[in-house]
Amino acid sequence: MKITRRNLLAASAAFAVTPALAQSTKNMTLVVPFPPGGSTDALARLLQSHLQTKLGRTVLVENKSGAAGSLGAIQVAKSAPDGATFLVTFDSHAVIPSILEKPGLDVEKDLVPVFLVGTAPYVVAANAERPYKTFADVIAACKANPGAVKYASVGIGTLGHLAMTVLAKKAGVEITHVPYRGGGPAMNDVLGGHVDMIIGSAALITAQLGTNRLRPILQLGRERMTALKDTQTAIEAGFPDFETLAWWGIFAPKGTPPDVIADMAKSVKEILSEPAVAAQLRETQQMTLLLADGKEFSTFFAKQVSIWGQVVRENNIKA
């Protein structure tokens, strides 16, 4: 190839923007602390394919479920801080310190917030063969037969579980909680009729609406989502100012170099800002994309730890 000033400038520019992440020859692993089939797993696998292309590295997704999502978090916290391992996790991560007696890690010190992807309202839905059309129907059934109505969540300490605990307390009823290790297993049992209802992120619930086997009865955002325009919000159902949003974020082991953190945040932001990818997350996962970097995510995360930790302590919830 003929060497020209233009070629030299192009090569220099390409070298200058080579991210620290792309310089490593090690495989990158995205650890998901839940089983396959849920929204967090779907997000990780979406990122996997794009990161692989963008960085020129092999990117793997590893599902490490258990202990309210802490097993996967511990694995990442103990990994080398070299940009080879990241945690792609869900809202329950903020509840680990309050719900586990011996969590095995300090979520605010052993892991570094890298990127806050987005949020989505929680939604309560019933097996379509059950008689519940609204949350008022659920409350009436619970009053008639305390403890008989059962709901699934994606795990003890997820915001869905905590939200239902608060709703039941406000309504003065008992609703039996059946926790699962992730969205996939929880949804399977609700669709199969083994559990009456489920509370999950809008991403998990709306994916099943076309089957006619699930009926949404309450959404926990401040306003009705377009996908659930006929479903009441909790505020409309008589729970003033009540809102619960699921969230998804990425963390790295403590000690990961700032340039690696910045490069990962930049890469993920560029991927999720692509119109087709953003549309996919909005349509299939019902996400409101926040695309916030580590500093903003740190502030958000600290508030989540405080708010939901208080709910855990007030209701004496343990994993």
CATH number at residue 204: 3.40.190.10
Domain boundary, last residue among 167, 193, 228: 228
Average pLDDT over residues 149-176: 94
Which of 21-25, 75-79, 156-160, 187-191 shows the lowest per-residue confidence on average (mean pLDDT)? Answer: 21-25
Pair 14, 43 in one domain:
yes
Strand intervals (E) in 83-221: 85-90, 111-127, 150-153, 176-179, 197-201, 214-219
What's the pLDDT at 11?
42
126 occurs within a structural domain: yes
60 and 88 in a common domain: yes
User: Is residue 5 scored above 80 in pLDDT?
Assistant: no
- What's phi and psi for 231, nearest 5 deg? -110, 130
Are residues 173 and 217 part of one domain?
yes
Query: pLDDT class for 281, splitting at 50, 70, 90?
Result: very high
- Distance CA(246)–CA(122), nearest Å, equals 6
Residue 142 has pLDDT above 80, yes or no: yes
Q: Is residue 172 part of a domain?
A: yes
Indicate whether 59 and 145 sit together in one domain. Answer: no
Structure tokens, 132: 């519940």
Within a 10 A sphere around the Cβ of 20, how many other Cβ atoms? 16
Distance CA 220, CA 151 (A): 16
Assess whether 84 and 143 both reside in one domain: no
* 15 domain-assigned: yes
Report the number of distinct structural domains present in the chain. Answer: 2
Does a structural domain hold residue 302? Answer: yes
In a domain, 235, yes or no: no
| Each residue's pLDDT tens digit, 87-123 | 999 898 999 999 998 999 999 999 999 999 999 999 9
For residues 25 and 103, give the distance between their C-alpha atoms in angstroms, rounded to a whole number: 33
In a domain, 34, yes or no: yes
How far, in Å, are 163, 202, 214 from residue 180 at the CA level? 16, 17, 18
Q: State pLDDT tens for residues 193-241.
A: 999 999 998 988 988 988 899 999 999 999 999 989 999 999 999 999 9
Rounded percentage of the chain residues whose pLDDT exceeds 90? 76
Q: Residue 272's domain is classified under what CATH number?
A: 3.40.190.150
Q: Same domain for 126 and 269?
A: no
Residue 8 has pLDDT above 60, yes or no: no
**Same-domain check for residues 192 and 271:** no
Chain CA centroid to CA 304, Å: 13
Residues 72 and 101 in one domain: yes
Task: Examine residue 266 and state whether it is found in any structural domain, yes or no.
Answer: yes
Q: Mean pLDDT in the chain? A: 91
pLDDT at 306: 95
Q: Residue 274 belongs to what domain range?
A: 5-120+246-314
| Location of structure tokens 């969540």 | 153
9-49 per-position pLDDT tens digit = 444 443 344 467 877 778 999 999 988 887 899 999 999 99
- In a domain, residue 237? The reply is no
Which residues, other chains included, contact 27 with Cβ-Cβ below 8 Å and sequence gap of 6+?
57, 58, 59, 60, 84
Cα separation, 275 vs 266, in Å, equals 16
Residue 269 has pLDDT above 70, yes or no: yes
Query: 210 and 306: one domain?
Result: no
Q: Which of 228, 260, 281 is the last residue of a domain?
A: 228
